[in-house]
Amino acid sequence: MRKVSIVGFPGALASAITGMIDLFRLAGVTWARIQGSEPERHFEVQLLTEDGRPCPCLNGISLLADGSIQESEPGELILVPTIGGPILPTLENAGVLLNWLRQRADAGQEIASNCTGAFLLAEAGLLNGRKATTHWGFSELFRQRYPQVECHPEQLVTVDGPIACAGGGTAWWDLGILLIERYAGAQVARELAKAFVIDAGRRSQAPYAALQTKRYHQDEAILALQDWLDQRYAHPLATDDLVRQSGLSSRSLLRRFKAATGETPQHYLQALRIEAAKSHLESSRLPVERITQAVGYEDVSSFSRLFRRQTGLTPSDYRARFGR
């Protein structure tokens, strides 16, 4: 059997820990029981903490540990769960864990994180020059703090060499299935996904992302322009219109808008229109043609291609998944 170590720390998300324990321990077991055949375990899973004491999770539950990170054999795969509590204080108090993660990486072990657990990998320097993902809601903080990491918050799972990262929330399902396929084979992974009723076809967390994170800045002129765009996005707008409204020169507008939001003004306007279309698709039964016009586009085919490029879903698929 392969040994998997999950690291626990104060404020970790309990479900990301217990969920991964369930997935790995029941790989080759649950499907066999459903089929009435002999179970075959593929993984030994242990929960390790800094001192071997129980892991105090965010929800008030303490999970019993199997040992300490320093005194236990770590196994071939290290899993870092979600930081459920405040991120920066967690990083400040994680010196021992960060050093241990560096040692494990130097020893050649594979390491994976879920959601904001990627902050621990980045803080340890393990993601420098690598592709990574994290929860979309914290992606701007991640990019600002770790500019040397190639962050892809639209992706649900990234794999770069021996390091894997999953996006927000329950993306540990997708990460777990991927890792189980890598270590135990595609058949075991498919059977486990069926047994747990996991949609193994998810690839993007873009459909879940919101635009509000683009306002986490202090540039008053750009914030005022964003407020104006909130009211005018459905109208034909060119860069000259934005220049006049902002009172900035074209060059200053582009530079400051990019610095504040991470986007060009035109890409931001596109994102605003996509957000408005998502809202219509979630809450109304308007035809896609009407929604296309309502958010400022004329050609339905072009809009549908843009929508799919931004969210990973067609408008119809988005409505089917998220419509009320």
CATH at 259: 1.10.10.60
Same domain, 6 and 57: yes
Query: What's the pTM?
Result: 0.73
- For residue 12, how many C-alpha atoms fall within 13 Å in the half-sphere facing its CB? 29
Torsion of CA 19, 24, 29, 34, to 10 degrees: 40
* DSSP structural state of residue 36: T
Same domain, 274 and 215: yes
Quote the number of domains for the chain: 2
Same domain, 156 and 197: yes
Same domain, 64 and 162: yes
Residue 266 burial by Cβ neighbours in a 10 Å radius (0-12, 13-18, 19+)? middle
Same domain, 157 and 228: no
CA-based nearest residue to 1, from 31, 28, 32, 35? 28
Q: DSSP H helical segments within the chain, as ranges?
A: 14-26, 30-35, 87-92, 95-106, 118-123, 139-145, 172-184, 186-196, 220-232, 239-246, 250-261, 265-283, 288-294, 300-311, 315-322
Same domain, 244 and 287: yes
Domain boundary among 187, 206, 225: 206
Q: What is the C-alpha separation between 12 and 101, in angstroms, rounded?
A: 16
| Residue-level pLDDT, tens digit, the chain, 324 residues | 899 999 999 999 999 999 999 999 999 999 899 999 999 999 999 999 999 999 999 999 999 999 999 999 988 999 999 999 999 999 999 999 999 999 999 999 999 999 999 999 999 999 999 999 999 889 989 999 999 999 998 888 999 999 999 998 888 888 999 899 888 988 898 899 889 888 766 666 666 666 666 776 788 999 999 989 988 989 999 999 999 999 999 999 999 999 888 889 999 999 889 988 988 998 889 999 999 999 999 899 999 999 988 888 899 988 887 777
243 is in which domain, residue-wise? 210-322
Q: What is the C-alpha separation between 169 and 149, in angstroms, rounded?
A: 21
Domain boundary among 172, 187, 206: 206
Give buried/exposed letters for 287-317 (b at 16+ CB in 10 A, else e). ebeebbeebbbeebeebbebbeebbbbebee
What is the C-alpha radius of gyration for the chain, rounded to an integer number of angstroms? 22
